Every structure is written in C-alpha cells, then in structure tokens.
A and B are shown apart, each in its own frame.
Chain A
Amino acid sequence: MRRSKYTRPAWLGEQGEGGQDTADKPRLTTSAMIASLAGPDQRTKPAPFGHALAALAESRPEIVGLTADLAKYTDLHVFAKAHPDRFYQMGMAEQLLISAAAGMAREGFMPFATTYAVFAARRAYDFICMAIAEENLNVKIVCALPGLTTGYGPSHQATEDIAIFRGMPNIAIIDPCDAHEIEQAVPAIAAHNGPVYMRLLRGNVPVVLDEYGYTFEFGKAKTLRDGHDVLIVSSGLMTMRALEAAEALSHDNVDVGVLHVPTIKPLDEATILKEASRTGRMVVVAENHTIVGGLGEAVAGLLMRSGVFPTAFRQIALPDEFLDAGALPTLHDRYGLSVSAMTRSIKGWL
C-alpha cells in the first residue's frame, strides 16, 4: 500500500494536535544521494570505478570518458581529474551522451559513458539500442543507482534496468558486488569487444570479495560458499547480503551456499545448471531488481528449458511496484533486501 497525499504520517497525529512524543518519531531520513551502502564496520574503498578507469586509461589511449552532468555522482570525476583532455562533459542530455559516445566509438575510441541507471535505461533506451547495440559498438555504459540504491523514489530507482537491457541484443550486463570486483571488472569490460551495461556502486564502496579469493571473469559465475540446504544465486550488492544471510542462517543449522553471478548477460548457464542440479537444495535467486525480467526469471527460464528442477525455487526481489521514497535501510527491510529480511524469508520457505 503506497502512502497517500491525503493522509498524514501516523506519528504526527491529526492536523493541529501537534506531534507525539519524540520517542515515536522515526529517526531515519531519506538517504543522501551519495550515501554509502557500507555498514558501520565494513571496510570500504573510495570511488573504485573512477580510480580503476583512470589507471586503465594510462595504458589504453583510446579510452575516453563521457557523462551527462553526473561525473561526481558516478565517480567519473576521478578519471576527469587524471585525464582532463579525455573527459567530455555532455551536459544534462542523455540521448546526446549516448549518441556522441556511439559516434566516438565509430571513430575508434572506447567511450565509458556514465549517468544514473534510470536515465540510461529509460530515457536513452532507443539511442543505446539503435546507435550502440545494433552496431555492436565498443561503448561501456556505467550507471550509478541501480535497482533500489537510493531513497529518492521512483524517479531515481532503476528497479527494472536489467529487464530492459536483457531484451536488447548484443549488450552485456554486469552487476558487480563490491569495490574489489569493480576494480577487476573495469579492465575486463574494456577487454570485451562490444557494448556493456554495468551497474555501479559508487562513493565509499564496501570491500567483501577479497576475503573469498575471488577474481572477476567476464561471463563467469563463481561459487563463494558451499552449502547443502540452500543455494542462493545472486548478483550485485545482494551477494554481499547473501553471504551475511548465509552466515546468520548457519547459526540456525541451515547450510547455505552462495553462487555469485555478476555477468547477467551472457549468463554462465553451465555453472548455474551444475550448481542448481545438485539434489536436495532449494534455489533462491536474490537480486536488487524487480521480480520481473531480472536474474531470477533468467535463471528460472534456464532451469525450465534445461529440465532441471530443484527441490524448490524462490525469488528475493523487489515487488512489481513503484517503490516508496525514504531511508534506504528502511526500504531494504520493507522490500525484503536486508540481511534480516532475507534470513526471515529463507527460514519461512524451509
């Protein structure tokens, strides 16, 4: 049930009564646009994408960076500072951003174009489709605020970006989990010859996967943790959450494995089928995306087509709704993406 403009928040009381006790007031406020996803004790790295791209550009003179008035908010400012003559500020014009990136790719350059995921997926779709994907051009589209990573409300919540890009031929979709993976994914997507859409965690980004001896490989899913009862298949920040949920569930004697799938298209079908074929495990796909058309449905379709039927199949994903504005921790809890919500869901399904 969405909030209504005709109803005041309950804790404010009736109009004219004045507020209730401060103890009842919610403490959380709408996340700032540059708020970090990191927990209080989590290790982080600043702007991993910007630093990785600036470093890669030292040895790849064809790399240029373009943005639509969001350099600071996509960490591209780090690249712009390191390589000012290779940075193109295209202004608040996403159709132009994408078209110009396509034109530069046609002239032999490798543009990294950045904006928010909503603006690439929704506003610039036709331009990405016809100018870049149809031509299979070497443009890398790197977008902050994927899925539910801001409390700003539906205008900035790209809850359907993966569904949109999965329907577009030729373009690869990458959903990295943490700073460690972003640093490795930048050279890997540059090495891939073709268009790429990468979801970006920006600002102070948690570092998690280094503890698992993990390396990113384009198109590869990797098992981070083994478990006999449940297999969580996840991408992006949900892999962080899955690892924490697995740890929490282990205290309840629930043995949870985690398969991280950072390349959503092309999907690593062999690894997913191998892991999902193991008998006796419930498969739970966890994604920071609407339940429609994302990793969950991609995996479900794969399993059905291949005749692989796990003990049970469940999805942890955002509802098919326009989501609330509010503080991100509140929203992740409300929509089932927080560690505690995931743990509750999985226990309920067992």
Chain B
Amino acid sequence: MPRAPQPALSNVSLVDRAYRIRRNALRMGEVQGQGYIAQALGIADVLAVSYFHAMRYRPENPEWEERDRFLLSIGHYAIALYAALIEAGIILDDELESYGTDDSRLPMSGMAAYTPGMEITGGSLGHGLGLAVGFCLGLKRKQSSSFVYCLFSDGELGEGSIWEGAWSASHWKLDNLIGIVDVNNQQADGPASQVTGFEPLEARFESFGWHVQRVNGNDIDALVAAFDAARNLAEPKPRIIICDTKMAKGVPFLEERERNHFLRVEPHEWRKALELLDAGRTA
C-alpha cells in the first residue's frame, strides 16, 4: 500500500544524532551514578537511524495515529530510548535531570504509562515481540501503513515467548514488523554467548520465516542500508535486523571494563566520559 513520504531530514547528520543520543544518556547516567549506560552507548547508532532516518512520527503528538511504533522490549534500555526521545523533541531536554528520581516521567525501566513516546511497558523480558504481533495485526485491520519496530536483545532470546512471537509473525505474514536484535554479547551473568549460546542467529530467524539482515550496529551507513532494505522489501514476511554492537561504544575506558552490563561510575568519571565522547566527536 502507498506510504507517506519520510519527514524531510534536517541538516544534522545521523552521526551527530548518535553522538547527541550518547551524550544525553551519559548525562542521565550521571544523575543516578549508575545504570545501563554501556547498552545505551552501544545502541545509540541504531536509535539514531531509527528516529532520524527510518521512522515517521510527530514530536508534538507522540500518539499521532499514522506514526511508526517503536516497542522497547528491553525495559532496562529505557535510558537509551529517553536519550533518543529527547533528541527527537518528544521529551524536553530539561526533563533529563529527573531521570530515575521520585515522580519522574523517566523511570529506570521503561513504562508506557509514564513516558510520552513509550509504546509498551518492557522490563519483564520476552514481552515485546508478542505485543508487536498484536500491534501489527491491529494496524493491518485498520489498513494502516505504519511499521512496528521492536527492539530486543541477545540475552532476551532465551525467553521462549520471543519464539512464540517469531513463529506467529511469519504465520501472519507481518510485513509491517521490523525486529531489531541488539547483539552486544553481555547479559546479567556474563557474555550472552556463554550463558546460553544464541547462535546461529541468522539461521534461526530464517528458519522461522523471517527476512534476515545482520550488520555492524555501530556503522551508520550499514544501518541506513539495512533499514531501507527492511522497509522496502516486497516479500510478505517479517523482517529482522541483527545488530552487532559494542558495549559502551564511544567511551574507551568504559568499553574496556570487563563486566559492563550494569555500570557504576564514579562522579569524576562522568566528566571524563563526556570529555572522551566529545573528543571522539571532534577527532
């Protein structure tokens, strides 16, 4: 069916968007002194391409009926999504200082009821893809041309409900569904590949009837190509973009921390992290 054109791109480059998403995330991390910072830094490029290249939305009306839906299954990545929503103008920049504090609209785990632009309550892992199936079926009933993007993670693939959703999405030929898997190989108890190995991911999703792409999730050009291909595909099947990302991307001393699933960062280190991020931007 015909789709509305993408919003005109501003002259801010996607690389700049990703940098600013990282910066927003670091500033929120500083409010709490801890959090899922490494995931946010790792997924920033994917979110930049999602929100500033691929998706249709209206910042002033996050519930605009014709928007593309972005479902955050991994609720603990909320800090990353808030950073993107702030950059997108859906949440105002000054609200960043309330991250995770009492009465904040930005709780540490993403909740639909609290936050503009947050479509689902994630956090109990394994919920997003089944919800996405329902969103997609509903949109098809309404003959909507909106896409549903659903972000989940490598560790989360251990939840059986993900595979119920994956199976169902191809049964219903959900060509309005674009799954995104963040493969950063870290989960609570260690490297995801060791906790319960999740490979071969491409073969697994292909066998479930999905159109599969795997890209470097920190390569903006590769992501743009993959999102374009997923959106433009004619085949009546769900699409998945498997994104290999680097935890804490852009802040070298955090990238090197051995266990960076949940980071605690000393007060002086936040300044250092921001300086390194800024330096990397200008280098």
Contact = CB atoms under 8 A, between A and B. Distances in A.
A90 B167 CA distance: 10
B124 A126 contact: yes
B161 interface: yes
Contacts of A134: 111, 113, 121
B141 interface: yes
A103 B160 contact: no
B120 interface: yes
Interface stretch (A105-113, A231-239, A251-259): A105-113
A96 B135 contact: no
Interface in A83-109: 88, 90-91, 93, 95-96, 98-109
Contacts, number: 90
B134 interface: yes
Nearest to A111: B134
Contact of A90 (B131, B141, B168): B168
A152 interface: no
Given A93-B168, A135-B113, A130 B121 contact: yes
A106 B134 contact: yes
A99 B121 CA distance: 12
A127 interface: yes
B135 A95 contact: no
B136 interface: yes
Q: Which of A64, A98, A104 is the most central at the interface, judged by chain B CB atoms within 10 Å of its CB?
A: A104
Interface in A119-133: 126-127, 130-131
B141 A103 contact: no
Contacts of B119: 106
Contact of B141 (A96, A106, A109): A109
Nearest to A61: B141
Contacts of A90: 168
B134 A104 contact: yes
Contacts of A130: 121, 123-124, 127
B235 interface: no
B138 A103 contact: yes
Contacts of A109: 138, 141
Interface residues of B, number: 30
A245 B111 CA distance: 50
Interface in A289-306: none
B3 interface: no
Q: Which of A95, A101, A126 is the most central at the interface, judged by chain B CB atoms within 10 Å of its CB?
A: A95
Looking at chain B's contact residues, is the secondary structure mostly helix, strand, loop, or mixed?
Answer: helix
Contacts of A127: 127, 130, 161
A64 B141 contact: yes
B135 A103 contact: yes
A100 B137 contact: yes
B127 to A, nearest CB: 6
A100 B127 contact: no
Contacts of A107: 134-135, 138-139, 141-142
Contacts of A64: 141
Contacts of B139: 107
B222 interface: no
B171 interface: yes
Contact of A100 (B113, B121, B126, B133): B133
B188 interface: no
Nearest to B160: A95
Contacts of B134: 99-107, 111
A91 B171 CA distance: 10
B23 to A, nearest CB: 31
Interface string B146-173: 0000000000000011001101100100
Contacts of B195: none
Contacts of A105: 134
A168 to B, nearest CB: 14
A318 to B, nearest CB: 30
Contacts of B167: 91, 93
A208 B130 CA distance: 40
5 contacts: A88-B137, A93-B168, A103-B131, A111-B134, A127-B127
Interface of A: 64, 88, 90-91, 93, 95-96, 98-109, 111, 126-127, 130-131, 134-135
